[in-house]
A and B are shown apart, each in its own frame.
Chain A
Amino acid sequence: MLNGIPINFYIMLSAVLFIIGVVGVMARRNAIIIFMCIELMLNAVNLMLVAFSTLHNDANGQVFVFFIMAVAAAEVAVGLAILSMVYRNFKSIDIDLLSRLKN
């Protein structure tokens, strides 16, 4: 129980957020939306880590959240750089165009 709410509710909420992210990555064709969905997946994890951290009375979970945030920022920085390079060459960020490497 956290503040009167059972821990399962937190798990459910972050699982639902995570699944929305996963479905978004697989179904959407716009690269920016795909990045946003990956961020959603990572933030679902952050939510769950904070909930568990409070449940166990252990600060490690919240420290881990900082690591995830820092790494997610680095990943997005690299991702947007690659994306702008792709846009310069392809004049589009639709990922269906990125299928030259099929046999």
Chain B
Amino acid sequence: MKGLFIISGLGVLAMLAEIFKFKKLLYPLVLIGILAAYVTNFMEWNSNFSIPMFSNMIRFDNVALAFSGVILVTAFFWFILANDYFEDDHVTDHFALVLFALVGALMLTSFSNMTTLFLGIEILSIPMYVLAASRKRDLASNEAGFKYLIMGSFASGFLLFGIALIYGATGSFDLMAIRSFISHANGDLPAFFYAGVLMILFAMLFKVSAAPFHFWAPDVYEGSPTVITALMSTIVKTAAFAAFMHLFLVVFGGVSETWSMVLAIVIALSLVVSNITAATQQSVKRMLAYSSISHAAFMLMAILANNRGWASINAILYYSLAYSIGSIAAFTVLYNVSKAKNSSNIEAFNGLGKRHPFLAVCMVIAMLSLAGIPITAGFFAKYFVFSVLIGTSFKWLIMVAILTSAVGVYYYFKVIIAMYFKQEESHEDVTMETSHMLLLVLTSLFTIALGVVPNYVIEIFSN
């Protein structure tokens, strides 16, 4: 709870920095603030278990705290990655926008009312639209911001329509009231209640960019500035999944027969479409966009296993942590390489293994983790998802997932092959800041540590 206040305060402080001229101090202040938010978040663990705040609008129970922790850790890493994004004229605006987006993300982990769900999604999305379009002269960035805005508000319309229908059926916006209404109704719910659940499902699938609602994602990811793409594919995704999980595992778990088949088809489609399209991409940035769709499908698989209780929450938590850390590492390397070579195509990585062995090793670890190869965190992330899904009637999805993961290995290895077995044509040196090196060391160690001792995260919740 205090973490949310600290981040909101930092956002306001960032806007004041413009007026009171302490712009130079802002970057260290934000880093310290995020650490402080993480520490207070950690201290609240187990202490105020499920105490509702603000007339039951927000509730920081342990699940919310765990997801907030993942978001804050990723945010800290992201701010290290993005240090030179905060060096042009709009420093304070960029800081304020990112910090307010973080506030939205934290709200999405802890909402306990449909009102806070809607506000959280909008507080997260509206700054992201601006950030996606933040390269004002760059046509690709313009297009990315515009597409994100249209698709995001379109999805919000569906979300609201769903919320309104559910309100009509149950007479409440409170999630626990809706949950108990479902369990007391014994299947005797009006038809428009089910329509509402499906519309919320479609809206959330839009937000997490699962096929066939993914068409905006590759364009937006490619057009946005690279650091903003990193933000979108880590923090925004984790927050959206925390919300998705809360809604569909906890609240609509009682009517799972309405949505589980739709979700299973969406997952199968996302896995096939994203992996096959990613294999044909020339741009690594666009490939990472498609790979994020396939990772979204994996996290959805854990939501599909809704009769497994804590096990699937653990699996989603572990997956989002592993994926966020791996992505931050991959985007750090991509950012430095594409800055030096002025291209984010796969050819830019040619010969990196010889000239910059450190960068190449970190990229290999990130790619192995994203591909799900053992001793990295990505392997156990996939393994735990499969282990929760095996007890349900959707075992066939595991077959689809394994087959498409094989395709996934192909395109992640394309990068590794380019780095070690191809000759580079031009000799631009990749110059890298010490902070980025430190970040890569940290994320790589973290990825391997999570893969070697996964039980610290995976057994975090149990009955």
Are the CB atoms of B143 and A101 closer together than 8 Å?
Answer: yes
Closest residue of chain A to B174 (Cβ to Cβ) is A60
Q: Which of A65-95 contact B (CB under 8 A)?
A: 67-68, 71, 74-75, 78-79, 81-83, 85-86, 89-90, 95
B423 within 8 Å of A (CB atoms): no
B153 within 8 Å of A (CB atoms): yes
Are the CB atoms of A100 and B149 closer together than 8 Å?
Answer: no
- A46-B171 Cα distance, complex, nearest whole Å: 15
Partner of A60 from B150, B173, B192 at Cβ < 8 Å: B173
Are the CB atoms of B139 and A18 closer together than 8 Å?
Answer: no
Closest beta carbon of chain A to B232's beta carbon, Å = 15
Given contacts A48-B168, A82-B133, A89-B137, contact A38 B153 (CB under 8 A): yes
Best-buried of B129, B153, B163, B222 by chain A (most CB within 10 Å): B153
Are the CB atoms of A11 and B129 closer together than 8 Å?
Answer: no
Are the CB atoms of B157 and A86 closer together than 8 Å?
Answer: no
- A61-B154 Cα distance, complex, nearest whole Å: 21
- A95-B142 Cα distance, complex, nearest whole Å: 12
Are the CB atoms of A31 and B153 closer together than 8 Å?
Answer: no
Measured between beta carbons, the chain B residues less than 8 angstroms from A100 are 139-140, 143
Q: Which of B137-192 contact A (CB under 8 A)?
A: 137, 139-140, 142-147, 149-150, 153-154, 156-157, 160-161, 163-165, 167-168, 171-173, 192
Measured between beta carbons, the chain A residues less than 8 angstroms from B156 are 42, 71, 75
Given contacts A55-B168, A64-B173, contact A45 B157 (CB under 8 A): yes
Measured between beta carbons, the chain B residues less than 8 angstroms from A48 are 161, 164-165, 168
Are the CB atoms of B139 and A90 closer together than 8 Å?
Answer: yes
- A56-B129 Cα distance, complex, nearest whole Å: 36
A16 within 8 Å of B (CB atoms): no
Partner of A38 from B130, B154, B173 at Cβ < 8 Å: B154
Measured between beta carbons, the chain A residues less than 8 angstroms from B161 are 18, 41, 44-45, 48
A3 within 8 Å of B (CB atoms): no
Closest beta carbon of chain B to A1's beta carbon, Å = 14
B261 within 8 Å of A (CB atoms): no
Are the CB atoms of B122 and A82 closer together than 8 Å?
Answer: no
Q: Which of B331-350 contact A (CB under 8 A)?
A: none
Q: Which of B270-313 contact A (CB under 8 A)?
A: 280-282, 286
Measured between beta carbons, the chain A residues less than 8 angstroms from B146 are 31, 82-83, 86, 95, 98
- Say whether chain A's binding surface is mostly helix, strand, loop, or mixed: helix
Measured between beta carbons, the chain B residues less than 8 angstroms from A82 are 129-130, 133, 142, 145-146, 149
- A82-B171 Cα distance, complex, nearest whole Å: 38
Measured between beta carbons, the chain B residues less than 8 angstroms from A83 are 146
Are the CB atoms of A64 and B171 closer together than 8 Å?
Answer: no
Closest beta carbon of chain B to A14's beta carbon, Å = 8
Measured between beta carbons, the chain B residues less than 8 angstroms from A60 are 167, 172-173
Closest beta carbon of chain A to B166's beta carbon, Å = 10
Closest residue of chain B to A97 (Cβ to Cβ) is B143
Measured between beta carbons, the chain B residues less than 8 angstroms from A42 are 156-157, 160
B387 within 8 Å of A (CB atoms): no
- A97-B167 Cα distance, complex, nearest whole Å: 40
B136 within 8 Å of A (CB atoms): yes
Are the CB atoms of A101 and B219 closer together than 8 Å?
Answer: yes
Chain B 112-126 per-residue mask, 1 if CB under 8 angstroms from chain A, else 0: 001100110010001
Are the CB atoms of A98 and B143 closer together than 8 Å?
Answer: yes
Closest residue of chain B to A40 (Cβ to Cβ) is B157
Chain B 97-120 per-residue mask, 1 if CB under 8 angstroms from chain A, else 0: 000000000000000001100110
Given contacts A38-B153, A45-B164, A90-B142, contact A58 B171 (CB under 8 A): yes
Measured between beta carbons, the chain A residues less than 8 angstroms from B451 are none
Measured between beta carbons, the chain B residues less than 8 angstroms from A102 are 219
- A32-B113 Cα distance, complex, nearest whole Å: 33
- A71-B274 Cα distance, complex, nearest whole Å: 32
B378 within 8 Å of A (CB atoms): no
Measured between beta carbons, the chain A residues less than 8 angstroms from B149 are 75, 78-79, 82
- A60-B114 Cα distance, complex, nearest whole Å: 11
A-B contact pairs, 15 of them (CB 8 A): A18-B157, A31-B146, A34-B150, A38-B154, A41-B160, A58-B171, A60-B167, A61-B167, A67-B119, A75-B153, A82-B130, A82-B146, A89-B139, A90-B142, A98-B143
- Beyond the given pairs A64-B163, A64-B167, 9 more chain A to chain B contacts, judged by CB atoms under 8 angstroms and listed by A's residue number, are A11-B192, A41-B154, A60-B173, A71-B122, A71-B156, A75-B156, A81-B130, A85-B145, A100-B140
Q: Which residues of B does A touch, CB under 8 Å?
A: 114-115, 118-119, 122, 126, 129-130, 133, 136-137, 139-140, 142-147, 149-150, 153-154, 156-157, 160-161, 163-165, 167-168, 171-173, 192, 218-219, 222-223, 280-282, 286
Report the 7 A-B pairs with minimum CB-CB distance, sorted nearest first.
A41-B157, A52-B168, A56-B171, A101-B219, A45-B160, A98-B143, A48-B164
